Chain A
Amino acid sequence: MNNVVGKILIVLQLVFSLCFMCFAGAAYTFHEGWKNRATTAEDKLKNTNLQLTEAQTARQQLEEKLTADVKTQTERAVMAEAKVTGLDTSLAQALGNLANAEQQRDKHLADLAIAQQEAQARISETTDARSENLRLNDRVVDGISVRRTLEDQVLELQGQNNEAVRREQANIEKLERLRGVLSKNNIDWEEALKGPVLPVSEKVNGVVRAARKNESRSAELVEISVGSDDGISKSMRLTIYRGAKYVCQIEVTEVYPDVAVGRVIEETRNGTIERGDNVTTKL
């Protein structure tokens, strides 16, 4: 029996020994590959650790930077929030001001509409007044024209009247003088008398030395450069002309040897008399 157990044990020992040898041989055969893989894995692990360290360092730096950035951004956010709060307040105030401005604008628009209506009414009134003014101006112009015409007529009539009064006075004086003369000579004054006939003078030419109004400004007196030496006598009518233009006629009232004074006959006036105008007895 012992012999059988010993044999079995020997066979088992042989089998296990062979298995051990095969295992050891396999390990020896493949241990180089495992070593390389282990070395490679170790290198990878070192590189990975190194990268991990660098990544941790970078992460730490990044964290610090991000922390600083977060802090800065937080401060900026706080400031921005404060600004936003201020802006909100300003916006609310601006909205209030806008509402007030809109109310004032509406009020002003209403006032403007009323003012436009009033302005339109004033424009209508002004247009009417302008038309009335133009009409009155036309009437004024017509009135002025009529007034000037009437003034001219008045002046003409005044001149005629003055001339008539002067002539009447002169005639009265002459008549009184003649009455006196007739009474001294015992002649009846009611007899018909014929005055002396003035001699017909030759054509005499002279010039106007001066022309001015008399003291009462009722007549214009003219001084001429010819007198009694040239045949000029009182009551003689002379004609004044300038070039080819007829000016007026004068009646001689005062006569001196080389100068005479005449009064302008207004009915014959055709213009103003100027110094240097020609005067003649016959045209």
Chain B
Amino acid sequence: MSQQNSDPTIYDGLMFVSLGAVIIGIVFLVLSLNGYGWSSGG
């Protein structure tokens, strides 16, 4: 249990940074697709 309450490490931060980078990349791709008439509704 004590292990579950351990402090977050640098790798946890890297995980969040990766998540953010993926989200930002997805946003860029959506914006790019909108320029060609793409809609999320299919």
A residues near B (Cβ < 8 Å) are 6-7, 10-11, 13-14, 16-18, 20-25, 27-28, 31-32, 35
Contacts and interface: CB of A to CB of B under 8 A. Distances in A.
Interface string B1-42: 000000000010011011101101111110110011000000
B35 A35 contact: yes
A31 B32 contact: yes
29 contacts: A6-B11, A7-B11, A10-B14, A10-B18, A13-B14, A13-B15, A13-B18, A14-B14, A14-B18, A17-B18, A17-B19, A17-B22, A17-B25, A18-B18, A20-B22, A21-B21, A21-B22, A21-B28, A23-B25, A24-B24, A24-B29, A24-B32, A25-B24, A27-B32, A28-B28, A28-B31, A28-B32, A31-B35, A32-B35
Nearest to A9: B11
B25 A21 contact: yes
A232 to B, nearest CB: 176
A151 to B, nearest CB: 154
B14 A11 contact: yes
Contact of A27 (B15, B22, B24, B29): B29
A6 B24 CA distance: 24
Interface of B: 11, 14-15, 17-19, 21-22, 24-29, 31-32, 35-36
Contacts of B22: 17, 20-21
A10 B11 contact: yes
Contacts of A31: 32, 35-36
Nearest to A11: B14
Contacts of B27: 24
Choose among B21, B24, B27, B31 the residue with the greatest number of A CB atoms under 10 Å from its CB.
Answer: B21
Contacts of A6: 11
Contacts of A22: 25
B29 A28 contact: yes
A281 to B, nearest CB: 174
B29 to A, nearest CB: 5
Given A11-B14, A13-B14, A17-B18, 9 more contacts: A10-B18, A13-B18, A17-B19, A17-B25, A21-B22, A23-B25, A24-B25, A24-B27, A31-B35
